[in-house]
Chains A and B, each alone.
Chain A
Amino acid sequence: GAVVSQHPSWVICKSGTSVKIECRSLDFQATTMFWYRQFPKQSLMLMATSNEGSKATYEQGVEKDKFLINHASLTLSTLTVTSAHPEDSSFYICSASGALAGGRGYEQYFGPGTRLTVT
């Protein structure tokens, strides 16, 4: 149980275009989803927290108009990188947490990540 998927696993786009990344919890309801960004050989940096049905909370320094997050259902959150530029190229990882049978509320389950390359 507790499987989180991301789609696509990798994407290449041209500068100025928008890219949507999906994060799905496959076998549990995710009341909260988190989006992280990771540059090569660096740690994960939390970008935003999204709760189902409400607006996302962005970390300091993250442009909310640049990185649009939608958490429309308990199993799906999307991150849209708008007007992408080469500096947006990165590895984007989502995680999901929610009440699981016998589980602990604090556990986060991570997706496999999406590698975005903006040319």
Chain B
Amino acid sequence: SQQGEEDPQALSIQEGENATMNCSYKTSINNLQWYRQNSGRGLVHLILIRSNEREKHSGRLRVTLDTSKKSSSLLITASRAADTASYFCATFRDSSYKLIFGSGTRLLVRP
């Protein structure tokens, strides 16, 4: 079953704008990961944030984690048309290495 929900389900922005997507999860976690999926393709790992971290940066990506609210956000700054994809958060179920994915946000960046 899915770990949680992401919002918005879909987001359409102009190139150059920032895109923010949110993820909520249900159980305690050790870390949370974000993945990108281009249409009809596999997943690419973007970033992992540990439960004792509040914010992490990687290039144009900024991820925050609020364990008290069981939520995370992914910010893509200065978006590009190539950022058009679906973005999923994921956590490990229990103490296993089984990834449970959020519902995903479909991002469209208009050139």
Contact = CB atoms under 8 A, between A and B. Distances in A.
Interface string B71-101: 0000000000000000010001000011111
Interface in A3-26: 4, 6
Nearest to B93: A46
Give the contact-size bracket for chain B: 20 to 34
A91 B38 CA distance: 13
B45 A44 contact: no
A5 B109 CA distance: 28
A49 interface: yes
A111 B44 CA distance: 9
Interface stretch (A64-72, A75-83, A102-110): A102-110
Contacts, number: 49
Given A6-B42, A43-B88, 15 more contacts: A34-B98, A34-B99, A44-B88, A44-B101, A45-B2, A46-B99, A46-B100, A95-B43, A95-B99, A106-B31, A106-B97, A108-B45, A110-B43, A110-B44, A113-B42
Interface of A: 4, 6, 32, 34, 41-46, 49, 91, 93, 95, 97, 105-113, 115
14 contacts: A4-B42, A42-B104, A43-B2, A43-B101, A43-B104, A45-B2, A45-B101, A46-B98, A49-B98, A91-B40, A93-B43, A105-B97, A106-B92, A107-B45
